[in-house]
Each structure stands twice: as C-alpha cells, then as structure tokens.
Amino acid sequence: MQMTQCFDLQLLAEAVNKHSNGASLEMNVKKTKTMVITKFPPKATSIKIKGNRVYCFEKEAFITLANGQECQTQQLGASWTSDIQATCYLECMIRYPETCQSIVYNAGTKTCTPGGVAFHPLQFYTASIPRANSPDQIYFAKQPVPPCDTSSGNFDLYDVCGVSLCLHVSSSPDDYFRAKTNCNQMGSRLFIANTIARLSVFEAVAMDYAKPYTWVGLTDIDDEGKFVWDNGEPLSDEQAQYTWVPEQPNGGDGQDCVRLKYNEGGLNDRYCNSIYDYICEPYNAYTEN
C-alpha cells in the first residue's frame, strides 16, 4: 500500500529523544524531502536533525497500514500515548528492540500499542489486536524474504501481512506419506505451521487456492498423543493454543496425521491414508517468523 505523509522532524526527534542514551538514528533525507529510515540499530535512540523542517516520510519503506479485518498482531506490552504513528513505531522499536514488528494506533486517542510479527486473522485465536470492528489501525514491518527458486515452476513466493514464504501448492491431492515423499523429492518438506504468522500464511494460501483440506507436517505416529513437526520439533503447549480447532485432536483410533480445514481456521487429526492437498516448503527457505 503506497502511503506518504508529512511529519515534523523536530517533533519526531523530541518524542524519541525522551529515551536517548547518546545513540543516533541514521536517516537518508533525499532532495525531494522524503525521509527514509535506512538503518535502525537496536540501541539507536535519538534523531539528529538541523533546524525545524518538515519532510515527507515514505512509510511504505518503513511500515505498511492495514485494518483488523486484514492483519492483526500479538500485543507485546502496555500501551502509551504518541502524537503520530511514526513516533509510536520508533518508540516501540526502542522499548522492544528485538521483538517490535508492528504497532496498533488509534489516531483519535493517540494510543500506541506495541506488537510482534503481523498475521492474517485466525478464527480461534482471540488474543490478537486490533479486532475486526475496531477503529484502531495496524502498521507492520515487512519480514525478511526467504530464498526461493521460482525458475523451476515448483515454488512461488506468497506474502501475507508482511510475512513472505516460499511454497509449493499441490496440483492434485494425495495421502500423507506420498505427499511427504513428493515434497522431499523437490528438496522440501510438508509445511510446518509452528508460529501464528506461519499458520496464517498457510491458511490464507489454502483459501486462495480453494483447498478446503490440506496436509501439514505434524504427526503423532511415533508416540500417540505427542505431536511432532516434520522438522523434529515437538508441538509446544503455546502452539497447541492456536493450532487446533475446538475438541481437537480427538485421539481417534489411528488418526495420526494432521490437516488444515481452512473454513474452521485450524488443525485436526485425521487418518494418514486420507487423500488431501498439501503445501511444501524448501528446507533452505524455512524462516521462523
């Protein structure tokens, strides 16, 4: 989304310098009076400017605007008041240098709320902000783009709320084991939905391709009731809170493999010989957003 807005750099500097420890924020001010932040070290906490001049801030190069129906985030901590969106985001980066990836801002109340990586709304995850009917807006940073060899025609990049993933969407369904083998033969594995952001991309891509049931790389084949992702990582209690649809997994006899049912917004266990579509991700393109 193209967004350009003018801000008073003096106001911006004053807001950020409240937390100054002598570090500086590097900027590139173009002749067009467009300010683009080019570097933000974790400890950068002040802005050096000359005079009280107004520049246009190109937010597309910094943060992207969406509403609660499009993208949401997890709240990192308590809210505070910021005069403008830019100071809100900069202060978020100062307070949470390792985890701030988005802000939720209310222009009327000037309330700023810090957030993590943005994601597409999930039906059964209710701890996200902003809500779909909220007047608040979310501004999110784009995450690093993984390597993706699209020349073979097997993989494409998909971007949802700033999270980019390199994926292969199956053209025909298969059982779990053949689906896994098909992925392996392309130097990839069945998709691992081990973060909220990754699950939201998985669901959004499945919806776009009208794949109502899609295998995910998660099973309890080796130890009944103990689900393990295809990369060997056990399903954590935190992950279980947002992955399963209500009353799942139900421990059905022999239901050792897991699928996404996109119109229910989550996962459930199924028989491994069931025939469903699947999504693969290259080993070298995995990013834990």
> What is the reported pLDDT for 27?
40
Alpha helices (runs of H) in the chain, residue ranges in sequence order: 9-17, 85-95, 176-185, 196-208, 237-243
Strands 80-81 and 111-115: antiparallel
Cis, bond preceding 114 (omega within 30 deg of 0): no
Residue whose pair of structure tokens reads 């001010």 in the numeric block: 29
Report the distance separating Cα 254 and Cα 227, nearest Å: 13
Region class of 153: left (phi > 0), else alpha (psi between -120 and 50), else beta: left
The answer to whether 117 and 138 are in contact (CB under 8 A) is: no
- Residue 155's nearest CA partner among 145, 143, 144 is 145
pTM to 2 decimals? 0.77
Could you give the CA distance from residue 120 to residue 204 in angstroms, rounded to a whole number?
7
pLDDT mean values, one per 10 residues, the chain (289 residues): 40 50 40 36 39 38 74 96 86 88 94 96 85 89 91 93 95 96 96 93 88 92 91 92 84 84 81 96 84
Task: Please state the length of the chain.
Answer: 289
Could you give the domains of the chain? 4-140 (3.50.4.10), 156-285 (3.10.100.10)
Beta-strand runs (E) in the chain: 4-8, 26-29, 34-39, 54-58, 64-66, 73-74, 80-81, 102-106, 111-115, 128-129, 137-140, 156-160, 163-169, 188-190, 213-219, 228-229, 257-261, 266-270, 277-282
Tell me the C-alpha distance between 153 and 175, whole Å: 23
Looking only at the bridges linking them, the beta strands covering 277-282 and 188-190 are antiparallel
Q: How far apart are the first and last CA of the chain?
A: 21
Nearest Cα neighbor of 59 from 21, 82, 81, 90 is 90
User: For residue 201, which phi and psi values (nearest 5 degrees)?
Assistant: -65, -45
Q: Please tell me the predicted confidence (pLDDT) of residue 275.
A: 96
186 CA to centre of own chain: 25
